[in-house]
Amino acid sequence: MAITLCVLLWAADGEAPALADYETEVLALVPRHGGRVLQRVTNVAHTDDAAHGAVQPTEVQLIEMPDEEALANYLADPERQARLDVRDRAISRTEILRVRPVG
């Protein structure tokens, strides 16, 4: 059964461009595992003002994978794994929601 993920990403302080570059690279690997990037958007109202509770994600993605095995293979892809140092520097927080269309 297909899996749809809503991925929310927060850039580390001052690292929004690095986050975008990293995600461009690793999302290019999704089709290799049978998946599709349905939507990728950046938050134009992004703010890091945690003192006021206004912390919002920098980028949001909708990704569809054919099944759990494909997702696991994508996450373990050697090219993706080779970039984890960049990910650790650029991204401070990630939330992944499993979602489905309404209606």
Q: What is the DSSP letter of 10?
A: E
Map out the domains of the chain as residue ranges. 62-92
Write the single-letter amino acid at 100.
R
Give Cβ neighbours of residue 96 (< 8 Å, ≥ 6 apart). 5, 6, 7, 8
Residues 22-46: tens digit of each pLDDT = 999 999 999 999 999 999 999 987 6
Residues 61-83: tens digit of each pLDDT = 999 999 999 999 999 999 999 99
Other CB atoms closer than 10 Å to residue 23's CB: what's the count? Answer: 21
pLDDT tier at 103 (50, 70, 90 boundaries)?
Answer: confident
Give the span between the Cα atoms of 70 and 36, in whole angstroms.
Answer: 11
CA-nearest of 102, 94, 97 to 5 is 97
The pLDDT value given to residue 59: 95
Alpha carbon 50 to its chain's center? 21
